[in-house]
Amino acid sequence: MKLAQDISLLPFNTFGIQAQAEYYREVTTVDELRDVLRLRKQPVFVLGGGSNVLFTGDMKGLVIRNAIEGTVVTRRFKNKVWVKAGGGTVWHDFVQWAVSSGLGGVENLSLIPGTVGAAPVQNIGAYGVELKDVFVGLYALELETGKLRYFNKIDCQFGYRDSFFKREGKGKYCIVSVVFSLTQHRHRINISYGDIRKVLDAAGIRTPAIGDISRAVIQIRSSKLPDPAKIGNCGSFFKNPEVERAVLERIKAAYPTVPHFDVPDKNRVKIPAGWLIEQCGWKGKRVGNTGCYEKQALVLVNYGGATGVEVRHLAFEIIDSVECRFGVRLEPEVSIL
């Protein structure tokens, strides 16, 4: 069992940040993962597609890139099937596989970068659907002991861009496979969020199939978000903050048109972080090699050659300026390492 040494992580993160891994290994099976862990190189960091991480320095110890792939149907019910996908499977490939197999549930999550194994970590979500809506359970290897553990939905403690694996379980497990429950017929069509309905209407589609929704989402995302292959980024850098209704009322007094969404807790609302950032004048602003994307203030970009420290510095300048103006402290969605 050999480890690569002093490997550049530049090709393995969508921000396009240069950082070195002291030791590096890609694993394609659970046994290989166990063997690598037996080498006891510490600390261990599990990397997927690198689309939600910001490296602010070199990575000491071992970086394991999860490349455990494979998708199989494990159970069939009347209208549902359970599908188990390897943690290293590319998320969008999994979505395309589901859509082309006629299985519904993940079409709204088309084109989200990254891997299946990372999807539960922050309970990925887009266009009115979250991973937890189709989630059955996952298998994760405990890095310390090499033991395989099953986590059901309750164990995962999913929240908005949050789970057990971002809190108590952070850095302790490698998610090796995820089990999803997808529909075979009578799909739960969800087109009320964002511009999906508008795009479908423009194409003259009245009763969309899951493939139509997936194509609409791909079209919308491609027009709004920067392609990491062309301009380094991690998608939304910040979470949309949830605040007390009283905070919203205070903001409303100065900004009567402040956008907001209801959340299950009736005393609270969510305010789009992008709107708050835009009001502070950051949208489209460039600072050195980094900046705030011109079409979406929530996205920080690397114009080329930016360091992780530069991006982090900009992120905290934004956080401070939003807090100063609105009294709302933004929280990064991206893992800053």
Ligand X SMILES: Cc1cc2nc3c(=O)[nH]c(=O)nc-3n(C[C@H](O)[C@H](O)[C@H](O)COP(=O)(O)OP(=O)(O)OC[C@H]3O[C@@H](n4cnc5c(N)ncnc54)[C@H](O)[C@@H]3O)c2cc1C
Q: Provide the binding-site residues for ligand X, judged by CB under 6 A.
A: 14, 45-53, 66, 87, 112-115, 117-119, 121-122, 124-126, 165, 173-175, 225, 228, 233-235, 335
Catalytic residue status for 333 = yes
Catalytic residue from among 51, 107, 236, 312: 236
Minimum CB separation of residue 45 from ligand X in Å reads 6
188 is an active site residue: no
User: Assign residue 123 a region: left if phi > 0, alpha if psi is -120 to 50, beta otherwise?
Assistant: left
Q: Is 161 a catalytic residue?
A: yes
Q: Which residue is catalytic, options 65, 161, 215, 312?
A: 161
Instruction: Please give the single-letter amino acid code of residue 215.
Output: R
For residue 190, with 0-12 CB atoms within 10 Å meaning exposed, 13-18 middle and 19 or more buried, which class applies? middle
Question: How far apart (Å, rounded) are the C-alpha atoms in residues 46 and 118?
Answer: 9
Written as one letter, the residue type at 208 is: P
Cβ proximity to ligand X, 47 vs 328, nearer residue:
47
β-bridge partners, 238: 332
> How far apart are CB 92 and ligand X at their closest, in Å?
10
Residue 19 or 251: the one with the smaller Cβ distance to ligand X is 19
CB 268 within 8 A of CB 250: no
Least distance between ligand X and beta carbon 68 (Å): 8
45 or 275, CB closer to ligand X? Answer: 45
Distance CA 57, CA 309 (A): 8
Q: Compare residues 52 and 302 and give the one whose CB is closer to ligand X.
A: 52
> Which tokens sit at 185?
């017929």
CB of 152 to ligand X, least distance (A): 16
Query: Which tokens sit at 270?
Result: 């969510």
d(CA 211, CA 13): 29
Residues serving a catalytic function are 161, 236, 333
